[in-house]
Structure 1
Amino acid sequence: MTNGIVIVGAGHAGVQAAASLREEGYDGPVILIGDEQELPYHKPPLSKTFIKDAAAKPQPLRGEAFYTGSSIDFRPGTRIDSIDARAGRLDVAGGSPLAFDRLILATGSRPRVLKLDGAELAGVVSLRSIADARLIRELSAKTEDVVILGGGFIGLEIAATLRAAARNVTVVEAVDRLLGRAVAPVIASHVRQRLEAIGVRILTETTVARLEGENGRVSAAIMSTGERLPAQMVIIGIGVVPNVELAQGAGLAIANGIRVDQHMQSSIAEILAIGDAASYRHWFTGGDVRLESVQNATDQARLAARTIGGHAEPFSAVPWFWSDIGDMKLQMVGLTQGGDHHVVLGDLADNKFSIYHYAGNRLLGIESVNRPADHMLGRKMLGAGFSPTPQMVATGPEGLKAAFAAFSQGEPARAAG
């Protein structure tokens, strides 16, 4: 009897992998292992709607009937201690060993630990799971002053949400701008301006020296400048680290994540890795990346299932991301590192604009604020391999759509005009 496929990690990547295996016709055993007791759920709402609504419940990725109806053996609250790759076996904490023919690691990532005096105080939290979101929601109901360490997407989403609930919110970022790894300076500046306009205080080029507490609970954050910020809750959002320990212990190659090839196979072919924990050579940029997004997780999961089915093409999905921060829907497509100039469409003052990033005449990616049509067209263009010139972009959405239509119809000469 076949041992089947075991998937470790029941987030977006793991659940999609299980679903895609069945969609691809795999009829052997599929075991999905999650370390939480919850039915797998959507994570993006946790920093927004969930923490502001006391009645909000987790949004399941799939209904319970999906797992039983698809013969997927979902095992919540299960932790894997180690992988014996040679024997094809997992050592399960408190349980019997589990054999596998193929293993998919969808182990995700975890919040980076803050090494700071006072970090152990009650009221100092990070957001990664539904349990974290419940705690933030509970604490915010009895909190006036919140300090958020880290000016990335998660920190700013929470800042906007809690400020809308009339909390006093201060964001502390160590570098000179917000969203330093994620978006262009003009987007970061715009986000800062909009947040400050609603009363979020933002401190850049500043760090926290220590946290103070009373009766075991956090009461203040002491800045490197000596300023004392009252805080009944401190939220840590200084990035994440990939969960590679199981893979590393099994002897898999590690390079800022579990190293995989263009078919999602690790250095041991029977073990695949997908999602936040996987690093790979990106087809578009030629550089090594590890992407933290729902889209990347689900696209890689689908490809992993096809790889196991024996008919996979190299990974070539166009990366895209999004974030809702207050009244700003940020949507990004492509990877813009290495860009040397850009074109702006729309008006920053209207809070509706897009930035088209170029390296020479090659379109690298588009960052949009409240212009979803630009984003959707950008996904189609990059996916089709169409790189409009900056002059085409400058003609506006209608001209750009016409140029792409001409390209799609196999008329590059007309499109170039």
Structure 2
Amino acid sequence: MRTVTVVGASLAGLYAARALRSQGFDGRLVIVGDECHRPYDRPPLSKDFLRGTTGQDGLALADAEEVAELDAEWLLGTRAAALDAGGRSVTLENGRSLATDGVVIATGATPRRLPGPELAGVHTLRSLDDAQALRDDLAGGPVRVVVIGGGFIGAEVASSCAALGHDVTVVEAAPLPLLPQLGEEMAGVCAKLHGDHGVTLVTGTGVAALRGESGGRVTGVELADGRVLPADTVVVGIGVRPNTDWLAGSGLPLDDGVVCDAGCVTALPHVVAVGDVARVDGSRTEHWTSATEQAATAVHNLLAGETLLAHRTVPYFWSDQYGVRIQFAGRRLPTDTVRVLDGSPEDRSFLATYERDGRTTAVLALNRPRPFMKARRELMRSAQPVAS
């Protein structure tokens, strides 16, 4: 390969670029990104950046020296509009066509939005610009914030807003936030963090509509059960959808992401996908660790022209809420039994395992980072990438 184009200039795209150079690719490297910013770290957006304790410079994932060493052609502030997989070219929204021998798809995902008119004060949080807009909106003093969705982003935003002195309410349609991920008992433990810090948690009801005049500012959130929550600022955290629209007509199979084999390789060996947009071996994982780990495997197979390496790992995520670090690794089923090994849920500091048929399937920790990492390593021993 003489030219490889990485479409997506965020975490997964940067790691793919690094892997290309570290694995010996010395040809032309093109990195296309729809944002004007070079790759930056997203997890702090809902935490340190939103609270104002970290600035934009503190988010950078690559310094000037590394950018120079990558020796890449950066095309930022422009979207990819189409992929001619057979003809090996990427068309940009400005009409420019990039001839390429290999493609890494790392276009990530876009936040889902609520239907209805555009209202000022309604935010999603995915990009640096999103976070800056929300931070600016909160800067005028204490306001009533309603966070729709009690998942990781929603809970972290609620935590940050509470720390800034705002009146915060979290609305979660499920009986408990994080119920599918953690199960009822442990989800209940994490849900109590909101109340511990003065945040109102409303569960078991969805959102019917946002109140406010079209073109004006949001004034409230109407719930499915008829209640109306007054709101000056609303943050919508109801999940994301993979950015695959630009791949329509490319011939690549799409199914809630770009369909890949276990080596992150698509139906065409010169096209691989990594990160939130990639559906690898039947599943799509929207976590920081997956985006970084998949890149080396995908690039190895891209340069080989076939799948020689499989990406096998244990799913892992973490979330920082109200001064508590929540860490989870593994694959749990609703029938798994949870057992606390160390610490106490009442103290919001413990290590717990999920067990099935006498073996550990997943591990959860609140503020127990060292024991957790040891338990995670044990889970990963049988799931490392293997050469074929």
TM range (shorter): over 0.9
Who wins on radius of gyration, i.e. which is larger? 1
Q: Could you say which residue in structure 2 is the equivalent of 1:313? A: 309
Q: Could you say which residue in structure 1 is the equivalent of 2:386? A: none
- Measured after TM superposition, the shift of residue 60 of structure 1 is 0.7
Which segments of 5 or more consecutive residues in structure 1 lack a partner in the other structure? Answer: 282-287, 387-417
Q: Could you say which residue in structure 2 is the equivalent of 1:406? A: none
Q: Could you say which residue in structure 2 is the equivalent of 1:302? A: 296
Q: Could you say which residue in structure 2 is the equivalent of 1:343? A: 339
Tell whether the 8 Å contact from 1:339 to 1:357 is kept in structure 2 after alignment.
no
Write the distance in 2 (CA, Å) between the matches of 1:141 and 1:112: 25
1:206-355 superposed matches below 5 A: 206-213=205-212, 216-281=216-281, 288-310=282-304, 312-337=308-333, 339-345=335-341, 346-355=343-352
Write the distance in 1 (CA, Å) between the matches of 2:109 and 2:335: 28
One-letter amino acid of the counterpart of residue 198, structure 2: G
Q: Could you say which residue in structure 2 is the equivalent of 1:385? A: 382
Q: Which runs of 4 or more aligned residues in structure 1 lie more than 4 Å from their structure 2 counterparts after TM superposition?
A: none
The verdict on how the C-alpha distance between 1:319 and 1:209 changes in structure 2, with shifts beyond 3 A counting, is closer
Q: Could you say which residue in structure 1 is the equivalent of 2:27? A: 28
Write the distance in 2 (CA, Å) between the matches of 1:78 and 1:277: 18
- Measured after TM superposition, the shift of residue 222 of structure 1 is 2.0
- Measured after TM superposition, the shift of residue 312 of structure 1 is 4.1
One-letter amino acid of the counterpart of residue 139, structure 2: A
Residue-by-residue CA offset, 1:94-138 (whole Å, 9 max, x unaligned): 1421011010100111111212x44x1111110000000001101
TM-score normalised over the length of structure 2: 0.93
Aligned pairs, how many?
377
- Measured after TM superposition, the shift of residue 250 of structure 1 is 0.6
Q: Could you say which residue in structure 2 is the equivalent of 1:414? A: none
Write the distance in 1 (CA, Å) between the matches of 2:53 and 2:317: 27
- Measured after TM superposition, the shift of residue 88 of structure 1 is 0.5
Q: Is the deviation greater in 48-57 or in 227-236?
A: 48-57
Q: Could you say which residue in structure 2 is the equivalent of 1:139? A: 137
- Measured after TM superposition, the shift of residue 71 of structure 1 is 1.0
Tell whether the 8 Å contact from 1:152 to 1:178 is kept in structure 2 after alignment.
yes
Write the distance in 2 (CA, Å) between the matches of 1:13 and 1:264: 12
Tell whether the 8 Å contact from 1:110 to 1:240 is kept in structure 2 after alignment.
yes
Indicate the SS of the match to 1:218. coil
Write the distance in 2 (CA, Å) between the matches of 1:145 and 1:99: 51
Q: Could you say which residue in structure 2 is the equivalent of 1:359? A: 356
- Measured after TM superposition, the shift of residue 334 of structure 1 is 1.5
- Percent identity over the alignment? 34
Write the distance in 2 (CA, Å) between the matches of 1:104 and 1:309: 11
1:96-245 superposed matches below 5 A: 96-115=96-115, 117-118=116-117, 120-142=118-140, 144-213=143-212, 216-245=216-245
Indicate the SS of the match to 1:296. helix
Write the distance in 2 (CA, Å) between the matches of 1:61 and 1:153: 22
- Measured after TM superposition, the shift of residue 246 of structure 1 is 2.5
Indicate the SS of the match to 1:217. coil
1:388-407 superposed matches below 5 A: none
Write the distance in 2 (CA, Å) between the matches of 1:12 and 1:185: 32
One-letter amino acid of the counterpart of residue 47, structure 2: K
Residue-by-residue CA offset, 1:35-94 (whole Å, 9 max, x unaligned): 100121000000001011176225111013312222122221121111111110111121
Indicate the SS of the match to 1:182. helix
Indicate the SS of the match to 2:362. strand
Write the distance in 2 (CA, Å) between the matches of 1:368 and 1:60: 28
Tell whether the 8 Å contact from 2:29 to 2:72 is kept in structure 1 after alignment.
yes
One-letter amino acid of the counterpart of residue 351, structure 2: S
- Measured after TM superposition, the shift of residue 267 of structure 1 is 1.1
Write the distance in 2 (CA, Å) between the matches of 1:342 and 1:210: 38
- Measured after TM superposition, the shift of residue 289 of structure 1 is 1.5
- Measured after TM superposition, the shift of residue 3 of structure 1 is 4.5
Tell whether the 8 Å contact from 1:39 to 1:64 is kept in structure 2 after alignment.
no
Write the distance in 1 (CA, Å) between the matches of 2:371 and 2:335: 19
One-letter amino acid of the counterpart of residue 373, structure 1: R
Which segments of 5 or more consecutive residues in structure 2 lack a partner in the other structure? Answer: 384-388
Write the distance in 2 (CA, Å) between the matches of 1:339 and 1:274: 31
Tell whether the 8 Å contact from 2:48 to 2:54 is kept in structure 1 after alignment.
no
Write the distance in 2 (CA, Å) between the matches of 1:121 and 1:60: 31
One-letter amino acid of the counterpart of residue 320, structure 1: Y
Write the distance in 1 (CA, Å) between the matches of 2:139 and 2:232: 11
Write the distance in 1 (CA, Å) between the matches of 2:301 and 2:224: 51
One-letter amino acid of the counterpart of residue 349, structure 2: K
Write the distance in 2 (CA, Å) between the matches of 1:200 and 1:223: 18
Correspondence 1:93 to 2:93: yes
Q: Could you say which residue in structure 1 is the equivalent of 2:73? A: 73
Tell whether the 8 Å contact from 1:17 to 1:302 is kept in structure 2 after alignment.
yes
Q: Is the deviation greater in 311-320 or in 194-203?
A: 311-320
